[in-house]
Chains A and B, each alone.
Chain A
Amino acid sequence: MGYEIVNAANVLLAAGQKEADFSAHYWAEFELFGQKLYLTSTHISLIIVSLVLIIFALVARSKIKKANAEDTPGMLQNICELMVSTVDNMVKGIMGENGKKFRNWVATVFVFALLCNISGLFGVRPPTADYGVTFAMGVITFCIIHYNGVKKNGGKHFTNLFKPILLSPINIIGEIAVPLSLSLRLFGNVLSGTVMMGLIYGLLSPPITTGIPAVLHIYFDIFSGCIQAYVFCMLTMVYVNDKIAD
C-alpha cells in the first residue's frame, strides 16, 4: 500500500478529537541501486516480533536441553510441550502421516502470524497489516504447494491443469488465486482491525481511551488474530495435502 496513507487519515477524521493514526510511517530514508527505500514502522515491528521469537526459542532450547526426565517439568517446559503437541495434533488431523515433515513450517508460520496479529495489543503497528508481509507468506506457501506437487506427481502435476481442456484457464487462475486469497485474507482482517482501533482512538478523548478500547482489543486483536493465524495454517495444510494426497 502507498505510504500516502499518512495524510489521508487526517481528512477522514477531521471531526475527531485528535488525528486518527492507523497508517505506516517511515522513520528513515535511504537509496539503494537508485531506488528510494523507506524504513517503515512495519520493518521495526517485524524486527521486534522476530527478536521476541528468537529469544523465546533460545531460552526454551537451553531449558529443554537441561531438562531431566525425572524432574517435574517447569512452567516454560510445559508451555513449550503444549504448543508442540497442539501443532503436531493439528497437522496430524489434517494431513495424516504424510504431514510429518510439514510440522516445522506450520508451527513456525503459526507462531509468527499469531505474534504479528496480536502485536497491536502492545502498541506497535501489526506487521501483517502491510500487504508486503502477508504476500511474502502467501508466495512461500505457493512455492511449497507446487514443489511438493511436482515432487509427488512429476510432469502430471502440470498436465493435470489442462485435463478438461476447456477448463484450463479456470484451473490456472484458480492456482494463481491461492496465494492472493491467502494473503489478502490475513491482510484484510488485520488491517480492518487496525483501522477500526485507530478510528476509535481518534474519536475518544484521553480519559476514556483507557477503558472502552480494551473491550474492542479483545475482539479485533486477540480473537480475530488467533482465528486468522489458525486459518492461515489450516488452509496451507489443506492446499498442500491436496497435492500430496495419494
Chain B
Amino acid sequence: MNGQDFINAMSAVGAGLAMIAGIGPGIGQGYAAGQAAAAVGRNPGAKSDITSTMLLGQAVAETTGLYGFAVAIILMFVKPFK
C-alpha cells in the first residue's frame, strides 16, 4: 500500500466521520416538528402560519448538516489531498 492509497482510504473514513454532522439537524428538525405539532394542537386555526414558520426554521437548522455533507462530498470526489 503506497502513500496515495492510504490518503484515499483515510479520505473515505473522513467523509464518513463528517456525516456525523447529520445528528444535529436530525435532533433540531425533530424538535421543531414536535413543537409545531404541539402548537397546532393548541391553536388549530393558525395551522398554515405554523407550518410555514416550522419549514423555514427546519431549513435553517439543516444548514450545519449540509456543511458536513459538502465536506464529505469534497473529500470523496474532489480529492483535495494529493
Contacts and interface: CB of A to CB of B under 8 A. Distances in A.
A184 B76 contact: no
A44 to B, nearest CB: 21
A181 B59 CA distance: 11
Interface residues of A, number: 22
A4 B67 contact: no
Interface residues of B, number: 16
A188 B56 contact: no
What is the interface of chain A mostly: helix, strand, loop, or mixed?
helix
B67 A184 contact: yes
B63 A185 contact: yes
A1 B79 CA distance: 10
A234 B54 CA distance: 13
A231 B56 contact: yes
Contact of A4 (B55, B62, B70, B79): B79
B14 to A, nearest CB: 15
Contacts of A235: 56, 60
Interface in B49-82: 55-56, 59-60, 62-63, 66-67, 69-70, 73-74, 76-79
Interface of A: 1-2, 4-5, 8, 12, 23, 181, 184-185, 187-189, 191-192, 195, 227-228, 230-231, 234-235
Contacts of A234: 56
Contacts of B67: 184, 188
